[in-house]
């Protein structure tokens, strides 16, 4: 499994931007599809975005399309989540995840997880 460490969270105002980073250990980062999930207080963890290990294809939660962008830098073993036009409903702990097998949107599709980074958007 790969070890993942997220960073970049913080407290921002509605309309602001943040860029989350997820650094992966090991030399096989390019063989993993990567995903971002989030969990708001009192709610289940939900899928946010994913990027394929094969062709870099991306897929997003409908409510973040056009505002969030997932991208990766395989040379730096890092995946990013650029979040623009943030809303109060984006407030959550954001988790990075890695999958060596499938490119999916389900929690069970991913075998490695980071510890999470808090994003708080004030309205």
Residue 53: DSSP 8-state: T
Beta-carbon contacts of residue 65 (< 8 Å; ≥ 6 apart):
none
- Three-state DSSP at 93 gives strand
Question: 3-class SS at 88?
Answer: helix
Q: Which residues of 23-38 are buried (b: 16+ CB within 10 A; e: fewer)?
A: bbeeeebeebbbbbbb
pLDDT tier at 66, thresholds 50, 70, 90: very high
| pLDDT (average), residues 96-110 | 96
Mean pLDDT, range 70-97, rounded to an integer: 97
Examine the pLDDT at 98 and tell me if it is beyond 80.
yes
Looking at the predicted structure, is the pLDDT value of residue 27 above 80? no
Helix (H) or strand (E) holding 8: none
Confidence category of residue 59, pLDDT binned at 50, 70, 90: very high
Q: What is the mean pLDDT of residues 47-64?
A: 96
Average pLDDT score over residue span 52-65:
96
pLDDT at 1: 83
Q: What is the pLDDT of residue 35?
A: 98
């Amino acid at each position: 499994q790969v070890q993942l460490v997220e960073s970049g969270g913080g407290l921002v105002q509605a309309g602001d931007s943040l860029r989350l980073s997820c650094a992966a250990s090991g030399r096989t980062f390019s063989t993993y599809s990567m995903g971002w999930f989030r969990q708001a207080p009192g709610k289940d963890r939900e899928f946010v975005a994913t990027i394929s290990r094969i062709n870099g294809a991306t897929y997003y939660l409908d409510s973040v399309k056009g505002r969030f962008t997932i991208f990766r830098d395989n040379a730096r073993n890092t995946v990013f989540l650029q979040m623009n036009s943030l809303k109060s409903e984006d407030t959550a702990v954001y988790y990075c995840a890695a999958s060596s097998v499938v490119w999916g949107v389900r929690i069970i599709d991913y075998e490695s997880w980071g510890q999470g980074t808090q994003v708080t958007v004030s309205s």
